[in-house]
Amino acid sequence: MKVLIILYDGFTEYEYAIPVMALHYYQVPFEVVGLNHTEIIGGTGLRAITTRTVSQVDAEQYDALLLPGIDREKRDQVLHDESLISLIQEFDRANKIIAAVCAAPVILGAAGVLQGRRFCSDVRSHPAFAGGIRSSEPAVRDGHILTGLGARIFHFTALLLETLIGDEKAAEYRRWAGI
pLDDT in the model for residue 74: 81
Q: State the helix-helix crossing angle for 13-25 and 153-165, rounded to 10 degrees.
A: 40
The residues, any chain, with a CB within 8 Å of residue 28's CB and separated by 6 or more, are 1, 2, 3, 161, 164, 165
Average pLDDT for residues 24-38, to the nearest whole number? Answer: 97
pLDDT at 71 exceeding the cut of 90: no
pLDDT in the model for residue 48: 95
Tens of pLDDT, residue by residue over 79-110, are 889 999 999 999 999 999 999 999 999 999 99
Q: How confident is the model at residue 52 (pLDDT cuts 50, 70, 90)?
A: very high
Q: What are phi and psi of 172, to 5 degrees?
A: -60, -45
DSSP-assigned beta bridge partners for residue 34: 7, 53
Domains of the chain (ranges, CATH numbers) = 3-177 (3.40.50.880)
**pLDDT over 70 percentage in the chain:** 100
Q: What are phi and psi of 26, to 5 degrees?
A: -90, 10
Average pLDDT, the chain: 96
Could you tell me if 54 and 73 are in contact, meaning their C-beta atoms sit under 8 angstroms apart? no
CA distances 7 to 34, 117, 135, 165, Å, are 5, 24, 26, 23
pLDDT in the model for residue 173: 97
State how beta strands 39-41 and 47-49 pair.
Answer: antiparallel
CA distances 131 to 21, 82, 107, 117, 119, Å, are 33, 21, 14, 8, 11
pLDDT in the model for residue 156: 98
Could you tell me if 7 and 32 are in contact, meaning their C-beta atoms sit under 8 angstroms apart? yes
d(CA 119, CA 142): 7
Q: How confident is the model at residue 78 (pLDDT cuts 50, 70, 90)?
A: confident
